[in-house]
Amino acid sequence: MLSILVLHGPNLNLLGLREPGVYGSVTLDEINNQLTQKAETLGVKVSVLQSNHEGVIVDAIHAAIGQHQGILINAGAYTHTSVAIRDALAGVAIPTVEVHLSNIYRREAFRHHSYIAPVAIGQISGFGAESYRLGLLALVEFLNKTP
């Protein structure tokens, strides 16, 4: 069975409380529950990690080698700053889909650049909690088509 690593970056543990006008009122636990349910219907397994620490995310990406066939990542603010997370994703070469709750291109200019996008299959941005579900679907369809 395909195994997908779901990575949530900094401040996403505050979902529900955090800027609800931007990120909605859904909590991270609710998002993770929805992903686990969706994974069941797709016949895949998901493992979830949230961290506020860049190095923990880098370590988790390294540890995915041989364990997970795909990565779904919302790197939060590290999207716009972290060469280390980008290099880790490039280094392990595990197919990755980048997701964001908000549409980062409608927001401040500093959010318009993603270090992760060039090493990802693609990006889903702006659909709130649905971005994760759509991202999982896109990733699993990609993996199922890849020999």
Q: Which of 45, 48, 56, 111 binds ligand DQA (CB under 6 A)?
A: 111
Closest CA to 116 of 125, 107, 128, 127: 125
Quick one: which of 50, 51, 74, 96 contacts ligand DQA (CB under 6 A)? 74
Among 50, 51, 79, 96, binds ligand DQA (CB under 6 A): 79
> Token pair of 96, please?
């990755």
Find out whether 136 and 98 touch, Cβ atoms under 8 Å. no
Task: Identify whether the C-beta of residue 60 lies closer than 8 Å to the C-beta of residue 86.
Answer: no
- 11 is a contact residue toward ligand DQA (CB under 6 A): yes
For position 100 contacting ligand DQA by CB under 6 A, the verdict is yes
Any contact of residue 104 with ligand DQA (CB under 6 A)? yes
Which one of 8, 68, 78, 100 is the catalytic residue?
100
Strands (E) across the chain are located at: 3-8, 45-50, 70-74, 96-100, 122-125
When asked if residue 101 is in the footprint of ligand DQA (CB under 6 A), the reply is yes
132 counts as catalytic: no
Which residues are the active-site residues?
Answer: 23, 100
